[in-house]
Amino acid sequence: MREIPLRHALIMGASSGIGHAMAERLAADPDIETLVLCSRRARSSALLLRLQSQLAAAGKQCLLLDVDITDEASLAGMTNQLRKDMQVIDLVVNTVGLLHAEDVSPEKALEHISLPSMQQVFAVNAFGPILLAQALMPWLKVRRPVLFTSLSARVGSIGDNRLGGWYSYRASKAAQNQLLKTLAIELARRNPEAIVLALHPGTTDTGLSRPFQANVAQEKLFTPAFVADHLLQQITQATVEDTGSFIAWDGQRIAW
Ligand SMILES: NC(=O)c1ccc[n+]([C@@H]2O[C@H](COP(=O)([O-])OP(=O)(O)OC[C@H]3O[C@@H](n4cnc5c(N)ncnc54)[C@H](OP(=O)(O)O)[C@@H]3O)[C@@H](O)[C@H]2O)c1
């Protein structure tokens, strides 16, 4: 277990799915003093407003920030806000991801690829996480323990790609992995106490996976609460030797 407790944490993508479950878990953690909960519509999320009231009642600080990780101006607004409110950040968890949307669906064949759809998936899954890291650099580069973690997906592993399909999602997560590995190497020089992790949550019952759950065995479809517990266990156990790793919910190392 960590010798230094996680007191100040930021979750990007906290309004639903795995991000929300992690926010609930951290909110219940007695060590936590400040939670920054972000998504495009965090400030109008009934779930997050409820969590904010609970934390306020417990004498803890909870900031809700509307941030779009694909928009540099929005990220700069977040940085400015955090400069006022946060002296230190111990943990960042990015849980934002895109598999399908109104005009995006995972490609089963080459004919289904479209440039605008591919660009949208890359903007969210690959460019967003590294732009988020850049926006948080004032906190990441200071020499002290800090964790920057981002949810990837096993299907982003090139070594593990046996089934094919889902071109954009797979490739965008592979790109995210490379960007995170590169960040880990840069941060090891600038702040040797920083830990950067790409995390695979396992198939989880959320809006992102719902249209694709038909062939998933019940015991392999996890609840967001189960996944949040396991990911937080991996996070709290991580040491600087783990920086730049791709780790599954159960601690398994995944091939790049
Ligand atoms: N669910 C699975 O089975 C599974 C499996 C493997 C990997 N993953 C990965 O795990 C992560 C979490 O997945 P999930 O299933 O919890 O997803 P989800 O239920 O769709 O939640 C995504 C969250 O991200 C926020 N968000 C979306 N776009 C955003 C943007 N541009 N800027 C800021 N926030 C944004 C959403 O809130 P707003 O709409 O308010 O912005 C929401 O809170 C993703 O990276 C996913 O690829 C999931």
The binding-site residues of ligand 1, defined as CB within 6 angstroms of any ligand atom, are 12-19, 39-41, 67-70, 95-97, 124, 128, 151, 153, 201, 203-204, 206-209
Within a domain: 215: yes
Structural domain of 114? 8-248
Ligand 1 centroid from CA 244, angstroms = 22
- Indicate the pLDDT class of residue 5, thresholds 50, 70 and 90: confident
Within a domain: 106: yes
Element (H, E) at 120: helix 115-122
pLDDT at 2 over 90: no
CATH number of 145's domain: 3.40.50.720
- CB-side exposure of 236: number of CA atoms within 13 Å? 19
Number of structural domains (the chain) is: 1
pLDDT at 1 over 70: no
Ligand 1 centroid from CA 18, angstroms = 7
Ligand 1 centroid from CA 248, angstroms = 17
Within a domain: 17: yes
- Residue 17, judged by CB atoms within 10 A of its CB (0-12, 13-18, 19+), counts as buried
pLDDT at 3 over 70: no
Within a domain: 241: yes
- Indicate the pLDDT class of residue 76, thresholds 50, 70 and 90: very high
Rg of the chain on CA atoms, in Å:
17
Within a domain: 254: no
Single pTM value for the model: 0.98
Ligand 1 centroid from CA 37, angstroms = 13
CA-nearest residue for atom 6, ligand 1, is 153
- Indicate the pLDDT class of residue 62, thresholds 50, 70 and 90: very high
Angle of helix 72-85 relative to helix 128-135, nearest 10 degrees? 30
Within a domain: 116: yes
Average pLDDT of 59-74? 98
Measure the CA–CA gap between 18 and 172, rounded to whole angstroms. Answer: 19
Within a domain: 255: no
pLDDT tens figures, 197-218: 999 999 999 999 999 999 999 9
Within a domain: 175: yes
CA-nearest residue for atom 7, ligand 1, is 153
